[in-house]
Amino acid sequence: MSVCIVQTLTQQGKIMNRHEYINKQMIFTGADDFQTKYAGNTDPRDFFEEGEVLTVNDINIGNWSSMVEFKNFSGKWFNTVCFELTEVNKEYHNG
C-alpha cells in the first residue's frame, strides 16, 4: 500500500528529513488519473512500468502533498502517492 509522504513521514511512520530521501530507491506502485493530475505533476504511467525501481534525486515535502524527482528524469516531478520505499530502504529505516 502506498501513501503520500507528508510532513516527512514515511510509509512506516518513521520521521525522515528531506535529505534522507536523496539516493533512496522507490518503487512505482501504479497510479490513477486523479493521482497523476493532482498539483500538475507529471504522469508516471508515461515513463514507468509498475514495479519499476527508481532512485530519488530530490523530493519536495508539502503539508498536503509531496512530489519526487528521480535520477535520469530531471525536471519531471511525480506525486509520491504513486511510489513507496523499496524493502531495502524500509529495513534500513526500521533497523
Q: What is the pLDDT of residues 16-42, one digit of tens each?
A: 678 888 999 999 999 999 998 888 899
Q: How high is the pLDDT of residue 90?
A: 53
pTM: 0.77
Closest to 83 (Cα-Cα) out of 34, 27, 40, 20: 27
- Report the distance separating Cα 54 and Cα 59, nearest Å: 13
Closest to 76 (Cα-Cα) out of 57, 63, 52, 49: 57
All three cell numbers of 38: 493532482
Query: pLDDT category, 5, cuts 50, 70, 90?
Result: very low
**Which distant-in-sequence residues (6+ apart) come within 8 Å of 19 by Cβ?**
none
